[in-house]
């Protein structure tokens, strides 16, 4: 494996750097935009449109859909360079990472023409409506239902509740997984639709998080009318469509983010330790730091391995689950260590005064969410056990049972 840029990649990096220097500015103190900070929505949309103009938005997507027609390695290189400018707006991640690829895979040409380039340019934002109060890890347990309208139009009427829908409050459209047949086993009775989030009967209610943010929402559907042309894939085949979205989700949420071991080291060097020396000289701290350094390097190289596979046209395997397990846990641990080292000041960070401290706090809160989103630690470990290590499958009591007959809590 060669970790250096190939001549073509090096040229791409030079061009990307030059473009970013001119267009993005270089502001090391710029905060990573918070997903729920809708005051940055306009700024994010302008940045997305600027990238789309020159092919730096959705670099691997075909040019005919507004993408850059480039390689996965070029996307990685651009992400690395863009991150140095603090320009990673979260508003588009779910739409472009998960929903729009699903639309591209399952919608007809006219629908794709209508939605894909607009999403690439950041003009419209998408959300993913899968989770429900009793359908999280078991996403196929979805109970939100769609029934044909009784007027012969072929339209569908949606009723039910989704939960944890990130960005629903600023999204224009969503992809929604619903039950269209409760009389067959759970994976066979689902159908996927795209839905206009401004449709009558869609009620979006924000959920307030411990971190003070409000990234996600409950979404209620009450008699929401959806045309049959909004269906993605065949009736009853929604699980296959959802798998495409979920596969992209695992890839999209695997990357590391926030301050890492080197920033923790810098912080510790400026904090007094026992006996007057800096906290960085504490033996226990150094040992933990060495562990994080080792796993961060392991992650980086594993990521390169996955990217090399992508460059060669292979599909990344279930190994990508490892990246998410390790990076989310590490993010949480590093945040916790920083807060402990700062003692009582660790919980009083003011993001306007001490950006790095608030970034560590944010990591600590966000790491918890990341260990759940896109597949919990336990579910990802199940995947690794079954598909990487070949251990026996998880027990299932609902195989071949009609969804309506599956026992459920009272």
Ligand X SMILES: Cc1cc2nc3c(=O)[nH]c(=O)nc-3n(C[C@H](O)[C@H](O)[C@H](O)COP(=O)(O)OP(=O)(O)OC[C@H]3O[C@@H](n4cnc5c(N)ncnc54)[C@H](O)[C@@H]3O)c2cc1C
Q: Would you say 102 and 130 are in contact if contact means Cβ atoms under 8 Å apart? A: no
Phi, psi of 28 (to 5 degrees): -65, -25
Residue with tokens 């959806």: 226
Tell me the C-alpha to C-alpha distance, in Å, between residue 297 and each of 81, 291, 294, 303: 19, 10, 5, 10
Ordered alpha helix ranges (H), 176-319: 238-252, 261-269, 283-311
234 is catalytic: no
Using the rule CB under 6 A, which residue among 48, 71, 102, 166 binds ligand X? 166
**Which residues, numbered 207-226, are part of the site for ligand X (CB under 6 A)?**
216
String of contacts with ligand X for each residue 365-384, x by CB under 6 A: ----x--xx--x-xx--x--
Q: For residue 209, what is the DSSP state?
A: -
* Catalytic member of 249, 287, 336, 353: 249
Quote the CA–CA distance of 45 and 369 in Å, as a whole number. 25
**Which residues, numbered 86-115, are part of the site for ligand X (CB under 6 A)?**
94
Kindly state the smallest distance separating residue 97's Cβ from ligand X, in Å: 11
Q: Does 137 bind ligand X (CB under 6 A)?
A: yes
Using the rule CB under 6 A, which residue among 11, 108, 228, 394 binds ligand X? 394
Q: Would you say 295 and 330 are in contact if contact means Cβ atoms under 8 Å apart? A: yes
Closer of 149 and 385 to ligand X (Cβ): 385
Q: Does 130 bind ligand X (CB under 6 A)?
A: yes
Closer of 52 and 373 to ligand X (Cβ): 373
Kindly state the smallest distance separating residue 266's Cβ from ligand X, in Å: 28
Residue nearest to ligand X (CB): 136
Question: What contacts 318, CB < 8 A, 6 or more positions away?
Answer: 383, 384, 387, 388
Q: Does 204 bind ligand X (CB under 6 A)?
A: no
Residue with tokens 């695997």: 254
Phi, psi of 357 (to 5 degrees): -65, -45
Q: Does 141 bind ligand X (CB under 6 A)?
A: no
Kindly state the smallest distance separating residue 383's Cβ from ligand X, in Å: 10
- Residues in contact with ligand X by the rule CB under 6 A: 94, 127-131, 136-137, 164-166, 216, 369, 372-373, 376, 378-379, 382, 394
| Residues annotated catalytic, as ranges | 249
């Amino acid at each position: 494996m060669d970790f250096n840029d190939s001549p073509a990649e090096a040229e791409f990096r030079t061009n990307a750097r030059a473009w970013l220097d001119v267009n993005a500015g270089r502001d090391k103190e710029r905060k990573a935009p918070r997903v729920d900070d809708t005051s940055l929505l306009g700024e994010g949309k302008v940045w997305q449109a600027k990238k789309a103009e020159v092919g730096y938005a959705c670099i691997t997507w075909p040019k005919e859909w507004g993408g850059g027609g480039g390689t996965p390695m070029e996307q990685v290189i651009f992400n690395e360079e863009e991150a140095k400018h603090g320009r990673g707006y979260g508003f588009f991640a779910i739409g472009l990472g998960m929903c729009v690829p699903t639309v591209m895979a399952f919608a007809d040409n006219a629908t794709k023409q209508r939605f894909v380039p607009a999403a690439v340019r950041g003009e419209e934002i998408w959300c993913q409506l899968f989770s429900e109060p009793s359908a999280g890890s078991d996403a196929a347990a979805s109970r939100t239902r769609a029934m044909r309208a009784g007027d012969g139009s072929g339209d569908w009427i949606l009723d039910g509740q989704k939960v944890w829908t990130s960005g629903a409050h600023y999204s224009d459209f969503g992809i929604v997984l619903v039950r269209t047949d409760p009389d067959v086993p759970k994976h066979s009775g689902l159908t996927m639709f795209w839905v206009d989030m401004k449709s009558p009967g869609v009620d979006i209610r924000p959920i307030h998080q411990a971190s003070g943010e409000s990234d996600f929402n409950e979404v209620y559907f009450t008699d929401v009318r959806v045309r049959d042309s909004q269906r993605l894939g065949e009736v009853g085949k929604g699980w296959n469509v959802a798998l495409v979205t979920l596969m992209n989700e695992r890839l999209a949420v695997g990357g590391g983010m926030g301050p890492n071991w080197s920033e923790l080291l810098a912080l510790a060097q400026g904090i007094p330790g026992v006996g007057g020396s800096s906290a960085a000289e504490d033996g226990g701290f150094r040992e933990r730091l060495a562990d994080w350094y080792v796993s961060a390097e392991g992650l980086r190289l594993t990521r390169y391995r996955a990217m090399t596979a992508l460059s060669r046209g292979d599909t990344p395997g279930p190994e990508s689950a490892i990246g998410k397990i390790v990076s989310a846990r590490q993010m949480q641990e590093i945040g916790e260590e920083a807060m402990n080292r700062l003692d009582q000041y660790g919980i009083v960070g003011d993001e306007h005064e001490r950006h790095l401290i608030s970034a560590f706090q944010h990591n600590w809160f966000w790491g918890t969410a990341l260990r759940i989103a896109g597949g919990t630690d336990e579910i990802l470990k199940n995947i690794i056990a079954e598909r990487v290590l070949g251990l026996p499958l998880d027990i299932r009591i609902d195989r071949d049972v009609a969804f309506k007959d599956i026992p459920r809590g009272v």
